[in-house]
Amino acid sequence: MKPIRSIAFVINSGKSGAVGLGRELVAAARAKGVRLKQTTRFLLPRGFLHGCDACCVIGGDGTLLGVVREAALEKVPLIGVNCGSLGFLTPFSPEEARSEFDGLLAGSFRVDYRAMLECRVAGGRPNLALNDVLIKDRVTSRLVHLEVFADGELVTDYFSDGLIFATATGSTAYNLSAGGPIIHPEANVIAMTPICPHTLTNRSIIFRDTVKLRVINRSNGARLLVGIDGHGELRAATGEWVDISIARVRLPLAQRKGYSHFAVTRSKLKWSGGAAERK
C-alpha cells in the first residue's frame, strides 16, 4: 500500500487504555508529518473521513462497527486496534499497534475488502451493515411471525424469536451464538439464522451473493425492531417488509501482511487440537 499521508483517529474513551494509546499513536503520526483528525464519537457524521488515507479505530469491534458506513462510502481502510475483549474486527493489540504503527504509516499492510449488507424497511433509505441485520420484537423476546422470500420465491414462514441475516464477516458474531455456521470472510454469501425457532427443523440457510431477500412482518399488532450492526435501529409494523441484499460497496479493512483468518479464529474461539499442540 501507499504511505499514509492523512489519517483519522476514532478513540472509544470508554475503553480502558484507549485514550492513552490514542495519544501515543497521534504523536507518532505527527512526528511523521501525517495530517490527522480525531474524535471520540464512533457514529461518524457523513463526510468525516473524506480525504483520509486511513482511519485508526481504537476500541473494540463495537467501536469499529460504528465507523464502517463512512469508511465504506469513502473507501477508507480501517486499522482496528482492540482494547476490548474478543476483537474479530480489530486485529491489532495495543502492543502490536505501538510496535507496528510506523510500518503501517509507511504502507506496510494489506487491505481486505469485506462484503456488507444493504437493508431497507418498507422502501425507505438504505442502511449498511458489516456484521448483521437483526429482526425481532422491539420490546420483548416473544414469538414473531416472519415470511421470507428469496428473489420473489417463498422460502418459508418462521415462528421464532427473530431472524439474523449475517455476512461472512459477521458469521462469528450473533449468528454463531445462535447456532449459525462460521463462514470464511472471502465467501460472498448471506447466512439467515432463526433465533429459537418454534419448528426444530428450521436451520440456517446460506444464500448466494446476488439474492434479493424480503422479510414480511406477519405478526399481529407487533412492531418489529430491525437492528443494523447493533447500532442503528429501525421499525417494521405489521404488514411492512424488510429488503436485504449484498451492498454494492465493500469495507476496506487493514490487515498485517501475514494475516491468517484461521489463525485468528483458532485464537479468538480458543480452539485446540493437534495444530495448537504442535506450536
Give me the DSSP letters along 29-74: HHHTT-EEEEES-SSPPTTTTTT-SEEEEEE-HHHHHTTHHHHHHH
| Residuewise pLDDT in 10s, the chain (279 residues) | 899 999 999 999 999 999 999 999 999 999 999 999 999 998 899 999 999 999 999 999 999 999 999 999 999 999 999 997 778 899 999 999 999 999 999 999 999 999 999 999 999 999 999 999 999 998 877 899 999 999 999 999 999 999 999 999 999 999 999 999 999 999 999 999 999 999 888 999 999 999 999 999 999 988 899 999 987 789 999 999 999 999 999 999 999 888 888 888 898 888 876 554 454
Please, are residues 236 and 135 in contact by the beta-carbon 8 Å criterion?
Answer: yes
Half-sphere exposure of 112 (CA within 13 A, CB side): 25
- pLDDT for position 23: 97
- Cβ atoms of residues 222 and 238 within 8 Å: yes
Exposure letters 203-231 (e unless 16+ CB within 10 A, then b): ebbbbeeeeebbbbbebeebebbbbbbbe
- Cα separation, 79 vs 76, in Å, equals 10
State the pLDDT at residue 245: 98
Pick 6-109+256-277's CATH classification: 3.40.50.10330, 3.50.50.60, 3.20.20.70, 2.60.120.10: 3.40.50.10330
Give the Cα separation of 68 and 75 in Å (integer).
Answer: 10
Annotated domain spans of the chain: 6-109+256-277, 116-248
Question: Which pLDDT value is given to residue 275?
Answer: 52
Q: Please identify which of the residues 53, 61, 132, 161 carries the catalytic annotation.
A: 61
Alpha-carbon distance of 170 to 209, in angstroms, equals 15
CB 166 within 8 A of CB 191: yes
DSSP annotation of 92 reads B
Q: Is 209 a catalytic residue?
A: no
pLDDT at 231: 79
CATH 3.40.50.800 is held by the domain 116-248 = no
> For position 276, what pLDDT does the model report?
47
